Copies of this chain bind each other. A is one copy, B any other.
Amino acid sequence: MTGNNQPIKGFRFSAIAAGVKKAGTERLDLALIASDIPAQAAAVTTRNLVCAAPVEIVRERLQSGLCQAALMNSGNANAYTGAQGKSDAYELTELTAKKLGISPELIVPMSTGVIGNPLPMERLRPKIPPLVERLDSSSYMDVAHAIMTTDTKPKTGILDSETSTTPFRILGMAKGAGMIAPDMATLLAVILTDVKVPPSLLKEFLVQAAAETFNRVTIDGDTSTNDTLLVLSGGHQGAIDLGQNSSDEESFFSALKTACRDLSRQIVRDGEGVTKVVDIHVLGTKNEADALKVARKIAESPLVKTAFHGEDPNWGRIVCSAGRAGVVFRPDNLDLSIGGIPIVRNGFLVSEDWETAAHAAMQQPEFTVELDLKMGNSSTTVLTTDFSEEYVSINADYRS
């Protein structure tokens, strides 16, 4: 443990109220994470054709594999803001770089909030110097607060692990409030580690970890313009080099996946109007891609999600969703259980009173749906939520 005063070696944090959405408010909405030295860096970003200006800059600047700071704001996504949006983001990173005394190429912007509005530059510019001045080793929770939009709580996690020779740590923070948050401002996440991982390996690990965690959750099936998951590694002199020891690589990859899984589950739990968190486990497919197609169709079906909300073991909707996933299977041979209660076995409804038991299982805040298609040995799990009246209310009139 490095202690709460320095939760992760090599990184400093700062957050400030800049009135991004509305002048004069005291809410933290501008944040900075800075590494002591240029860190090894990798990112995964949204696959939406329409992407925000900061996402474009992240892609450009991380080509080098190095990054020393992330400048983040909530309240404005700087998306669909054209050339102005990009030049604004460049300018802010330049101001930050100047104050930090480093190259702007080493700073990435990350934004979340309403789209289509230019950044309020006149309010942001003067906040950069005090933001940099306030950097300290301990304030990561302030950063986590500053990137929240409709999140009801900050999402952070610290994970300790070790290589064959030495302990290391991963610190993560994220904002979500839905895999898609209102106005597509959605997912921003930063993962920091005190172990030094070569950038190409870091990227490879991150892509794979994201595929198995962040990309296996869904609130409403939408994809944002701003999704960015950034990892910075070894931000201090003398950081342990991961090297090429394959068992060390495995330790790091495993810890990274755990950190990503923990953050993505926190995001789902705090999804808009969410009252149920459900693991959709599909097994018995010919390959993982098939399992994923089926799990996603189930996870994204409004009829399945409203049934979850009603704690109604309406298994027919689950089977029906699976049937439209474009994957061939035998409906008359599948097994289905909800909350561990077998409902369908070999295509037949079980004879016991599954209804009462399954309803009881669904009264829990988290439960599992397991669908075995018996076509092969592959499987996957997608994390989803219910659809509540509150989800509708939150999103019906978000901007006002």
**Which A residues have a C-beta under 8 Å from some C-beta of B?**
47-51, 79-80, 82, 114-116, 180, 182-184, 220-225, 301-303, 306-307, 309-312, 314-317, 319-324, 327-329, 331-332, 347-349, 387-389, 391-393, 395-400
B312 touches A221 (CB 8 A): no
**CB-defined A-B contacts under 8 Å, sample of 23:** A47-B324, A48-B323, A48-B324, A49-B324, A49-B328, A49-B331, A51-B323, A80-B319, A82-B332, A82-B348, A115-B316, A182-B303, A184-B317, A220-B302, A222-B303, A222-B321, A225-B320, A302-B395, A303-B395, A306-B396, A307-B395, A310-B397, A312-B398
- For A48, the chain B residues whose CB sits under 8 A away are 320, 323-324
Pairwise interchain contact A392-B388, C-beta atoms closer than 8 A: yes
Task: Tell me the smallest distance from the CB of A391 to a CB of chain B, in Å.
Answer: 7
What residues of chain B lie closer than 8 Å to A80, measured between beta carbons? 316, 319, 331
Number of copies: 2
- Say whether A314 contacts B398, CB under 8 Å: yes
Once the chains bind, are A396 and B307 in contact (CB under 8 Å)? yes
Contacts of A225 in B (CB 8 A): 316, 320, 323
CB distance from A184 to the nearest CB of B (A): 4
Given A80-B316, A116-B316, check contact A322 B50 (CB 8 Å).
yes
Nearest B residue to A182 by beta-carbon distance? B303
Given A302-B221, A303-B180, A316-B116, A50-B323 contact (CB < 8 Å)? yes
Closest B residue to A301 by beta carbon equals: B222
Chain B nearest CB, measured from A99 CB (Å) = 32
For A329, what are the chain B residues with a Cβ–Cβ distance below 8 Å?
A: 49
A97–B116 CA distance with the chains assembled, in angstroms: 64
Asked whether A114 lies within 8 Å of B316 as measured between CB atoms, the reply is: yes
| Residue pair B399, A320 in contact (C-beta under 8 Å) | no
Across the two chains, which residue of chain B brings its CB closest to A325? B49
Tell me, rounded to whole Å, the shortest Cβ–Cβ distance linking A363 to chain B.
13
A316 to B389, Cβ gap below 8 A?
no
CB distance from A227 to the nearest CB of B (A): 11
Q: Which residues of B contact A51 (CB under 8 A)?
A: 323
Q: A82-B347, A396-B307 are in contact. Are A320 and B389 (CB under 8 A)?
A: no
The 3 closest A-B pairs by CB, nearest first: A310-B396, A50-B323, A310-B397
Alpha-carbon distance A240/B319, docked complex (angstroms): 45
* Chain B residues near A302 (CB-CB < 8 A): 220-222, 302, 387, 391, 395
